[in-house]
Structure 1
Amino acid sequence: MTQIIENFAEIADQYDALFVDLWGCMHNGLTSFPAAVKAMQDYRKTGGKVVFVTNAPRAWDLVAKQMNRFGIPDDSFDAIATSGDAARVALFTGAVGQKVYFIGEAHDYSFFEPIKVVENPVEITRVPLEEAEGIVNCGPFDPHAEPDVMRSEFLFAREKGMKMLCANPDIVIDRGETREYCAGALAQLYTEMGGESLYFGKPHPPIYDLARRRLAQLDVNADEARILCIGDGIKTDILGAEGEGYDSLFITGGLAAEETATKVQPDAELLNAYLQKEKQSPTFAIGFLR
């Protein structure tokens, strides 16, 4: 049975390290949530380690700069593990070939910058779809357009047997009050059409392997029973935590705010109904991280 808590401090001493989602927990795509920032700062003062685990399709250092612009200071976290870094390892080891068709926006071009952990990386070239061996999907060309606008391209790619590398498994995010589609929505469509999609972010294992390596780089060997995953994505953060055997704290005021009637805290009956529908049982729930 999921326990609804009022403040993270109620359970903080049960855990040595946190794997914390960013969008919907620490910020809304425009600015930070001050109470969440303070909760992480207070936790770190007690010796706890905070690893931001995000499905952002970019390198961790670029995410860190973005967090600073949003008002999330360096003293609120210890390390960052991104879906982009996990996926880039696969890209430069040839997971989808050397000639790739790129789906994304201009700010995602950094995805193709070399990653140091790969020795002897393959040479990657962005080419038109007709010349491609595989697809790199960092997100829609237009995040407000329905994924179905890519159906004709995906039919061609499927018939050619192309694999799609999905750099961000998230389906949607909320930027302020506006909902946008993510790379996961395109990968979901491609898979439904019979194509093969490769995932590296939450809820899939590669990003958790990377998060554990980030902890090891901090000289932390936390007992897995003392790692808590925090997030607002029931099918990413919470499902991923379950798959890894970690406890979880579900932030109901993010993607599930409407379903749980969260203003400050979730409605207990609606939360229970939502979790039953999604077949998930997070260890704890709270309206907003504080």
Structure 2
Amino acid sequence: MQMDVMPGVFSRRDPANAAPVLFEIPRSGAEYPRSFSSVARLADLQRSISMYVEECYAGVADAGAIWLYAHCPNAYIDLNRHELDIDPDQIEDEWPVSLQPSPKTKNGIGLIPTICAGSQPIYEAKLSVAEVQHRLDHYYWPYHREVARLLEGFRERHGVAYHLSCHSMPAIAAGNGPDAGQRRSDFDLGDRNGTTCGPELVDAVASALSGFGYKVTRNAHFIGAESVRKHGAPGQGIHSLQIEMNRSLYMDEDTRCRRPELARVRDQLTEVAARVVRFAAERAG
């Protein structure tokens, strides 16, 4: 097995004779760049991170898929947001092109989050255009170029590419969301309402997870964000699916510590990866 690293940006594990399957983890990194300065407590910043997801999916390379893990924390720059999802009020000068702030940006959780732990401010002053551009040039774009390169390589060699974007969600929805106060499902599969992948991939993943007794929903809590929107092109053979996993399955959300069940979840997700690899092999040219 080959291990490739772009220091501070991502790590990648490639099995020998990898199937055209990529499991990527864009929001679990915790390597804060030295230049990062915040008024928030580290404990609050850490609550923005989908902790331990990279460990839960650590076995996918053993199953024949590529594993890609982003190192930077989403409190620094959120790789699952559009590159123009920036609040113009959070930067000192005018951005060179028109910005596209989303409702999430207005709530402080856009490309460059301004709050953590629900309400705690991350900065005491505005950021410069140069600082935000640095984060895009040195972290955001290198990661997304790698995702795009891998998927395009799959398609060129096999005619298809399967992309699983791996995330975790709080067990109980926060008070400002559409599902506020609800107990979430064990896994929620997001294909942006059928636009980023074919239904066969969703069915295969849902069937594998349900086989372990998990409650699986589709586009119920999260329909899929920028990673699947940016890369999914089912009409061209590239299928992107977001997988949201309930954090209570593998960690204590209060203490932020791993639960003993993490090892079992890892083994099960390795089996899910093996199922997707077989699925891809049946469809590869």
TM-score normalised to the size of structure 1? 0.31
- Choose between structure 1 and 2: higher helix proportion: 1
TM-score, structure 2 normalization: 0.31
